[in-house]
Structures are given as C-alpha cells and as structure tokens.
Amino acid sequence: MNILVALEGVLSSDNTDNPNRTGALLYYALRTNNRVAIFTSWSRKDAEHWLMVNGFIGYDELIDNTYELIGEELGKRQVNLARSKNPVELVVSADPVLCAWTFEQGLPSLLFANPDTMNLSNRPDSPTKVRAWGAIEEVITKRNIKRSLDASKADTSFTRYE
C-alpha cells in the first residue's frame, strides 16, 4: 500500500516542532509492509534533519516545499505529485481541509486529530463559527451522492423495455 503522511501535525506537533508520540506510533505501524512517503512544507534539508534527529527512519520518499507553485496549495500539489509517481492509497494529515479535498479526489483519507497537538483552528471543537469538521461532513455527503449516481448509471442488471 502507498501511503502519504504529513510531517506537520502528524509526526510533529502543530504547535511546536516536537515529535508527536501518537503520530510516531502511527507512522511505524503504517511503515510495516507499506510504502510510506512523507510530505512537508519544510525545506528538504530541515525536514531530513528533523526526521533523523527524532528517529523517523525508513521512509520511502520525502516530498518537500520545492513543489509549491504560486496560486496552488502546497498540500494539494504534493498529493498530485505523489499520485503521478505511484498510486496513493491513503493520505494521513492533520489538516481537515486537505483531507476533505483528497476525499473529493477519491482517495481514502485519515484525519489525524490529536487534541494535544492540533492547531485550534483545525479542531472540531474550535470556538470559531466556521468549523472545518462541517466541511468534511459536507464533502462526504457529496461524495456519497456522486457514488450512488455513478453506481446507478453503471448498473446494467435491470431490463429496459422500450
């Protein structure tokens, strides 16, 4: 299985550059018998140094911030780049907006929501009026409707009488 894991918010805390213990456990569980690529908004040099110092070894690829283009969100660009190289079968991120977008693209997404390390604005219990969690629910509903419509178009098991 080809898996993309975000460095920020999953392996490191959103609030600090400290490693996230739960994210480390998840990373090593996923790394067993899977191909794991890490994506980050950091430079390659900084990311490689941080990963090495904090014991994150054995990843198959590092997708750094050199893939950013003006007018495009870096995370989306990185997911598209990874998909152009290998089929991506799971995206793990602490960013609910990115998870919603990958879900719209037909990719399984795992929203890593650690209450101790997640940015307040990304939390489902955020005090702001606009909640990212609602956006994810909306995307899931849209995706399910689209799948049901596509399935009904492809269903040829019934007989048409004209």
* Type and span of the H or E element at 38: strand 35-39
Among 4, 24, 14, 26, which residue's Cα sits nearest to residue 99? 4
Work out the angle at residue 17's Cα, subtended by the Cα atoms of residues 14 and 22, and round it to the nearest 5 degrees: 65
Q: 66 falls in which pLDDT band (50, 70, 90)?
A: confident
Residue 7 near residue 51, CB atoms below 8 Å = yes
* Type and span of the H or E element at 147: helix 132-154
Burial of 31 (0-12, 13-18, 19+ CB in 10 A): middle
> What's residue 92's pLDDT?
96
> What's residue 121's pLDDT?
60
> What's residue 82's pLDDT?
92
The CA-atom distances, in angstroms, between 4 and each of 42, 120, 153 are 16, 23, 32
Q: 145 falls in which pLDDT band (50, 70, 90)?
A: confident
Lowest-confidence segment of 34-38, 45-49, 63-67 by average pLDDT: 63-67
Average pLDDT over residues 51-64: 94
> What's residue 2's pLDDT?
94
Percent of the residues in the chain that have a pLDDT greater than 70, as a whole number: 75
What number of other Cβ atoms are within 10 A of residue 144's Cβ? 10
CA quadruple 93, 78, 84, 142: dihedral sign: positive
> What's residue 70's pLDDT?
63
Average pLDDT over residues 44-68: 92
Residue 3 near residue 34, CB atoms below 8 Å = yes
> What's residue 56's pLDDT?
94
The domains of the chain, with CATH numbers, are 2-154 (3.40.50.1000)
